[in-house]
């Protein structure tokens, strides 16, 4: 891919694509080494979400294609588009030339609350793209620092986005006024990370760069996790982690 096959480059290109798409909800993100696949969902005004702008044609995918082509971020390689009408749902496939970054953009009818393990869809979805992109950017930066400090080939990781129930949702939702409730997120984005191809020195450099490291779950399924730009990231099992706090925090 452009700039060399690496997880870092895939995440950088993927982040630029997210920026070009703006408020499209990232229902799925899966990185396998240097291959990155997204599932984005168009906004839906019927479920409390707003249409970001008037569509210039009868089909909403036309506006998405133009947004990607004319996006201000020139780091997104030339896109190719394929419209899939063979299945129940019409989908727009996007391939970024010279990369292993792909995206599928689906209509809002295809996304259901059940598919996200959420009680409802709504305005809260507009908060997610920015939060996910910030975490993706930081993971890319950690990989770059890891490669710089430990040397060797570009480290490759696997990374997958999921949505997990918010433990505080019921209490917060019950106290909120009716107009505010669609903005309260019942689930939160989280990542699961695994090593794909990294050296021992790179593993150490990566984990040494993390803060807010802890463990979650119950024995024997306790797993190390880190908070990266506010999002929980489940780390590969078997790591010997030293909990760290952010600079300036109380000791």
pLDDT score for 27: 97
pLDDT score for 55: 42
Is pLDDT larger for residue 223 or for residue 40? 40
d(CA 69, CA 189): 28
pLDDT score for 238: 66
What DSSP character marks residue 73? -
Mean pLDDT of the chain: 86
d(CA 125, CA 24): 9
d(CA 128, CA 184): 12
- Residues contacting 183, CB < 8 A, separation 6+: 122, 123, 124, 127
Model confidence at 227, pLDDT cuts 50, 70, 90, reads very high
Q: In the chain, what percentage of residues exceed pLDDT 90?
A: 65
Pair 79, 104: CB distance under 8 Å: no
Is pLDDT larger for residue 68 or for residue 229? 229
Q: What is the mean pLDDT of residues 47-70?
A: 63
d(CA 88, CA 244): 49
- Residues contacting 4, CB < 8 A, separation 6+: 154
Buried b or exposed e, range 179-193, using 16+ CB within 10 angstroms: eebbebbbbbbbbbb
Residue whose C-alpha is closest to residue 135's, from 232, 58, 216: 232
Residue whose C-alpha is closest to residue 47's, from 153, 136, 142, 120: 120
| Tens digits of residue pLDDT in 162-194 | 999 999 999 999 999 999 999 999 999 999 999
Asked if the model's pLDDT at residue 200 lies above 50, the reply is yes
Q: What is the mean pLDDT of residues 105-120?
A: 93
pLDDT score for 242: 54
**Cβ–Cβ contacts within 10 Å for residue 137, how many?**
19
pLDDT score for 251: 46
Q: What is the mean pLDDT of residues 93-113?
A: 93
Asked if the model's pLDDT at residue 56 lies above 60, the reply is no
- Residues contacting 44, CB < 8 A, separation 6+: 108, 109, 121
Name the token pair of 117: 């393990």
């Amino acid at each position: 891919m452009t700039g060399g096959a690496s997880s870092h480059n895939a995440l950088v290109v993927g982040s630029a694509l997210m920026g070009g798409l703006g408020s499209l909800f990232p229902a799925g993100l899966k990185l396998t080494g240097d291959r990155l696949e997204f599932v984005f969902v168009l906004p839906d005004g019927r479920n409390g979400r707003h249409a970001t702008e008037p569509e210039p044609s009868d089909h909403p995918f036309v506006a998405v294609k133009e947004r990607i082509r004319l996006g201000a971020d020139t780091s997104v390689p030339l896109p190719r588009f394929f419209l899939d009408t063979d299945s129940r749902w019409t989908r727009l496939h996007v391939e970024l030339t010279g990369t292993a970054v792909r995206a599928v953009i689906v209509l809002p009818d295809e996304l259901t609350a059940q598919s996200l393990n959420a009680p409802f869809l709504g305005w809260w979805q507009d908060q997610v793209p920015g939060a996910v992109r910030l975490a993706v950017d930081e993971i890319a930066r950690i990989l770059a620092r890891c490669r710089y400090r430990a040397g060797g080939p570009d480290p490759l990781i696997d990374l997958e986005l999921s949505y997990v129930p918010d433990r505080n949702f019921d209490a917060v939702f019950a106290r909120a006024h009716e107009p505010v409730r669609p903005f309260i997120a019942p689930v939160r984005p989280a990542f699961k990370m695994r090593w794909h191809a990294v050296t021992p020195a790179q593993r150490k450099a990566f984990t040494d760069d993390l803060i807010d490291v802890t463990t979650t779950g119950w024995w024997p399924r306790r797993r190390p996790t880190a908070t990266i730009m506010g999002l929980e990231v489940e780390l590969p099992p078997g790591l010997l982690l030293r909990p760290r706090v952010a600079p300036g925090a109380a000791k």
